[in-house]
Amino acid sequence: MLAIQVPPKPRKCTPHLLPLRINHNGPINNTECYFNPTSQTTSVRSLDAKQEQQPTPVVKEEQRDADITQHAYFRGRHLLSTPILLPENYTGAVMQTTNTPHTSTKTMHHGRTMSASQNDHDEDSEQDGDHVEMDVEVMQTNILASFSEVLVWGHAEAVDDAKDAFVRGVREWIGFAEGMHLEEE
């Protein structure tokens, strides 16, 4: 299990899912040389490759409009973004798990986590000998940043929502989460 440490005011960011593989695992200096998205006020679906519009700097998130498309060039390849907005009651998080284990006062019963008081009550009411108890190791996880949208990039065209596995997966996961937390009447 993970114990999530939430900072008082997490940094805001926008993750980018690029259609390429980068064989590097660490910081780089001056990322604007490699990836510098710009915005254009044209519809993603009606964008013509021969249209000549001057790109403008990326606008702030609260100014973003449905008709604004982000463009970027990475190693000479033209990329177009498709934003995936998270529902209002959801928050995305960039997290980092530490190697510091924390022991918990909770124990596991048949795959459920219970506090010490629930554990005492459950032991009194449990009649069969099929009782499994084990300590739960909890790892510390820190939230580095939060986000409300993810930009999925496609080669020279917007990502097809119906065909892209990442877009479909996120939308299906949100639907599954909604179903899991739906209150029964």
What are the tens digits of pLDDT across the range 95-108? 998 888 765 555 45
Asked if residue 109 belongs to a domain, the reply is yes
| Residue 23: predicted pLDDT | 86
Residue 127 placed within a domain: yes
Task: Specify the number of domains making up the chain.
Answer: 1
**CA trace torsion 91, 175, 114, 117 (10° rounding):** 80
In a domain, 39, yes or no: no
For residue 100, being part of any structural domain is answered with yes
- pLDDT value at 130 more than 60: no
The whole-number pLDDT of residue 131 equals 56
As a whole number, mean pLDDT of residues 38-54 equals 48
Is residue 133, in this structure, part of any structural domain at all?
A: yes
- Number of helices (H), then strands (E), in the chain: 2, 11
DSSP 120-165: HHHHHH--SS-----EEEEEEEEEEEEESEEEEEEESS---TTT-H
Query: Stretch 29-58: mean pLDDT, rounded?
Result: 56
The larger pLDDT score, comparing residue 135 to residue 147, is at 147
pLDDT at 119 over 70: no
- pLDDT for the residue 56: 41
28: pLDDT strictly greater than 70: yes
Examine residue 55 and state whether it is found in any structural domain, yes or no: no
Bridge partner list, 72? 79
In a domain, 102, yes or no: yes
What pLDDT is recorded for position 54?
41
Residue 129 binned pLDDT confidence (cut-offs 50, 70, 90): low
Helix (H) or strand (E) holding 100: strand 92-109
Confidence class for position 80, pLDDT limits 50, 70, 90: very high
Task: Give the pLDDT confidence score for residue 128 in this predicted structure.
Answer: 52
Average pLDDT, stretch 115-143? 62
Instruction: Quote the mean pLDDT of the chain.
Output: 74
**Cβ atoms of residues 14 and 64 within 8 Å:** no
Q: Is residue 78 part of a domain?
A: no
Task: Note down the domain range covering 123.
Answer: 96-141
